[in-house]
Structure 1
Amino acid sequence: MADCTGLDSWFDDGWIGRIVKFEHPLYCSWKIVKKLEDHETRYTRDEFEHSGFYSESCCIFICCQDTENPTQAIMKIRMQIPYIGAESSSPDMRAPQARPCQRGQTSREIKALEKLTEAQCPCTPKLIAWKHENQGHDGWVPGGFLDYIVIEKLEGQTLSWELIDSLSNEQQESLRAAFKESYLSCFSHNFVNLDRGARNLIWNEEKNICYIIDWETWYRAKPSYEWDDDEYRLWGLEPS
């Protein structure tokens, strides 16, 4: 566990090099090699005790298969962390905060990616492995949830407003056309991603594919749906 004094991240350098073993859907091992980003959602003690809101941190890593011919993938780890102000408390004091069950966001993402992978959807990352366990006594919240998902590492650029704005009009038109094709492809498999935003799109300009990622919130598509160009605005892709 990291020293909470001057804490920069709940996922310290000790995670790099760690080998995580999985049993679902197949037995495999993946070694964490690089941290890409992390973010946290934190609540106060009052919010935890009276509203049931618990804090968590989610970290995205690059990992490689623990074999002689390593293949890179993305590992997302979601971990319960202490409520605000409890970082310096003893493990025994933090343990009562524990929420042991797999997070709903994790379960939803597994379900969506599992179905989309089975359907061989070409514009979403393939689900490779997943795992749920509880933190040990040396964890930030002993007994708290610790969820892992391993997905395909996609080629391309994660979109942002700055990147989109730097594209030529022709490139932006190609991007929107690729996005629409991907959106309708997911729709054909009855999935609509609700976490709209350019940050959840990866554009491979060479292959002209716009991948849709981050499937923590979604709904089942309705057969009566018709494409609406307003989706470009909702996803940050509207013409400038």
Structure 2
Amino acid sequence: MADLSFLPSVVAFEDGLAFERLQPITDFRVNHDGHPAESRILYLCQKISPSRDEIAVLKVKVQIPDTALSVTPPARGPSDTSIAEIKALQMFSKADTPFGPHLIATKTVADPNPLLPNGYITYTVMSRLPGPSLLALGYWSMPTEKRQIIQHHFLAALKGIRTVGIEPGDKGLRNILWDEASQRCSLVDFETWSIFSGIAVDDEVEFQAWGLASRPPSPNWWAEFGIKTA
């Protein structure tokens, strides 16, 4: 278990906004998807200033340079994946879409603690979307009829995200939320994304890419690995 005692219990932003960290909703894990490499963890948080009300999601991303070995050079942050996600959250906020999280506040703090010499921490608060992930719900243990219902609502969510101009990059059941009460899907985790080309693939191909449907077996081993033959 990582020692996270250096993280403040209350994170203050501009305009008088302050959020109290509550329980973690992920573990503290290393992320090498972007530059520089970071560790990250997500918390539930509650706005405590200017009033105590809103429950949101706080993403904390930490760079810890290995200055002793000069493997990872110190950086001031934020990382390219943080920049990408913040931009996506801003776009969702502007479009007021219900299918992706909205940006509430963000900041990057350099030299935040003697335990993190020359590194940084990026704090990003985003709106909390309803429902657990399909991975947590055990999507593949659900009856076929229910999976088909979820697939239908997933397509609506994906269309809503693409309407904003975003093509998600990190596709998987862990990034699809399902709210049973409202019968609604939403998508999370936009550290990697691209501009939507305007061209959508076949629904079944999309389901397979996100883990919502099984990919049929390849007719032979070279087709399985994408090897072309004459």
What's the TM-score bracket when you normalise by the shorter of the two chains? 0.7 to 0.9
Task: Structure 2 unaligned segments of length 5 or more: list them.
Answer: 216-230
Q: Give 1:58's match in structure 2, choosing from 37, 40, 50.
A: 40
1:156 aligns with 2:131: yes
- Residues 173 and 148 of structure 1: is their aligned pair in 2 closer, same or farther, counting only changes over 3 Å? same
2:227 alignment partner in structure 1: none
Task: Structure 1 unaligned segments of length 5 or more: list them.
Answer: 1-7, 43-52
1:3 alignment partner in structure 2: none
1:5 alignment partner in structure 2: none
1:19 aligns with 2:10: yes
CA-to-aligned-CA distance 1:191-214 (integer Å, 9 cap, x gap): 110100111111112211111000
Match runs of 1:178-217 below 5 Å: 178-217=153-192
* Percent identity over paired residues: 23
Following TM superposition, where does structure 1 have runs of at least 4 consecutive aligned residues deviating by more than 4 angstroms?
none
Q: Give 1:78's match in structure 2, choosing from 43, 48, 61.
A: 61
- Residues 126 and 221 of structure 1: is their aligned pair in 2 closer, same or farther, counting only changes over 3 Å? same
1:9 aligns with 2:8: no
Q: Tell whether the 8 Å contact from 1:32 to 1:63 is kept in structure 2 after alignment.
A: yes
CA-to-aligned-CA distance 1:134-164 (integer Å, 9 cap, x gap): 1235132x22121111011222111217710
Separation of aligned partners in 1, 2:36 and 2:124: 20
Task: Count matched residues.
Answer: 210
Structure 2 length-normalised TM: 0.82
2:152 alignment partner in structure 1: 177
1:40 aligns with 2:16: no
Comparing 110-119 and 219-228, the one that deviates more: 219-228
1:118 alignment partner in structure 2: 94
Structure 1 length-normalised TM: 0.79
Q: Tell whether the 8 Å contact from 1:161 to 1:236 is kept in structure 2 after alignment.
A: no
CA-to-aligned-CA distance 1:35-78 (integer Å, 9 cap, x gap): 22221147xxxxxxxxxx75421011111111453321110010
